[in-house]
Structure 1
Amino acid sequence: MKHLDIKQIQQIIPHRHPFLLLDYVEDYEPGQYAIAYKCVSYREEFFAGHFPQEPVMPGVLTVEALAQAGAVAILSMEENKGKTAYFGGIQKCKFRGKVVPGDKLRLETRIIKSKGPVGVGEAVASVDGKVVVSAELTFMVG
């Protein structure tokens, strides 16, 4: 297993606070997959307005976190170092559960297609083994 801490993640992807949504990478294989985690804290800025009486992590931010995990897999490839992975599309996205303060969000993105600078990742976010989001994410490296 290849583990990455926050400083190592920042050497691979360009995201920074408050938009870096990965806390650590448990395992990854360049060009193949990444398994990362986000430890969701009540102190996240988005909880102030989403929603004050019932804090829920916005689903689009969970999709972004999955994309960042995929970016670790793609941008850790030698030929992509120093580049940026951009969204090209989101397909088959399903929201199946809530992410709330105290959750440890598991983010797994596997690259299922890649041709030149374009590819597709199969992405699944889960909490305690329960899938909360699944999607196919298209990316473009530039």
Structure 2
Amino acid sequence: MTTSVDAPASAGLRSYDASAILSMLPHRWPFLLIDGAFDVDPGRSGKGVKNVSLAEPYFAGHFPGDPIVPGVLIIEALAQLTAIVYVAQAQESGHPAPASTVGYLGAINRVKFHRVVRPGERLDLAVTLTTALGDLRTVDIAAHVGREKVVTGTITVSNRAGER
């Protein structure tokens, strides 16, 4: 599989284009917030990209005349990348319905926003799964535009779908 970005996966790592991501996640427009994933080490870490378009529906109200990506949606994009890392692990173990392994965002911890993101920018995403405690996992998150930090912090996710 290939990504929608010009970043080849390193040896032993996986890449996923938009089509593959649609098969991995239950999210759909307008809440599918990741365009490609690469350097995915299943169950451990991954990188991704969100190409921010002026056509994003949230720009109509956030904010007219001064559009910026809502910070909570950047966090959601990072959570979706985390789900891809989980699903990649499920695929490797032969799970019959990988998208059913997508859990829930449980907490947003120690997150700092460093700059705003505007239409036309490419948001680079990175996640590393860290501490596990039962069905919960902490994840170190980071997002950048070019070399500029956008978001850093930690989120907590569940590693199972539970009741919907």
- Show the counterpart of 1:48: 60
* Kept in 2: contact 1:13–1:84 (CA 8 A): yes
- Which of 2, 16, 20 aligns to 1:8? It is 20
Unpaired runs of at least 5, structure 1: none
- Which of 64, 70, 82 aligns to 1:58? It is 70
Q: TM-score, normalised by structure 1?
A: 0.94
- Show the counterpart of 1:99: 117
Give the Cα–Cα distance (whole angstroms) in 2 for the partners of residues 111 and 132 of structure 1.
Answer: 19
The alignment of Structure 1 onto Structure 2 pairs a total of residues equal to 142
Q: Find out whether 1:90 has 2:102 as its counterpart.
A: no
- Amino-acid identity (%): 35
Q: Find out whether 1:111 has 2:123 as its counterpart.
A: no
- Structure with more strand by fraction: 1
Give the Cα–Cα distance (whole angstroms) in 1 for the partners of residues 19 and 135 of structure 2.
Answer: 26
Q: Find out whether 1:133 has 2:131 as its counterpart.
A: no
Give the Cα–Cα distance (whole angstroms) in 2 for the partners of residues 10 and 3 of structure 1.
Answer: 13
Over 6 Å off, 4+ runs: none
CA-based RMSD: 1.3
Q: TM-score, normalised by structure 2?
A: 0.82
Give the Cα–Cα distance (whole angstroms) in 1 for the partners of residues 20 and 131 of structure 2.
Answer: 25
- Show the counterpart of 1:69: 81
Q: State the Cα deviation string for residues 24-70 of structure 1 (Å, max 9, x = none).
A: 11220111111000000011000010011100000000011011111
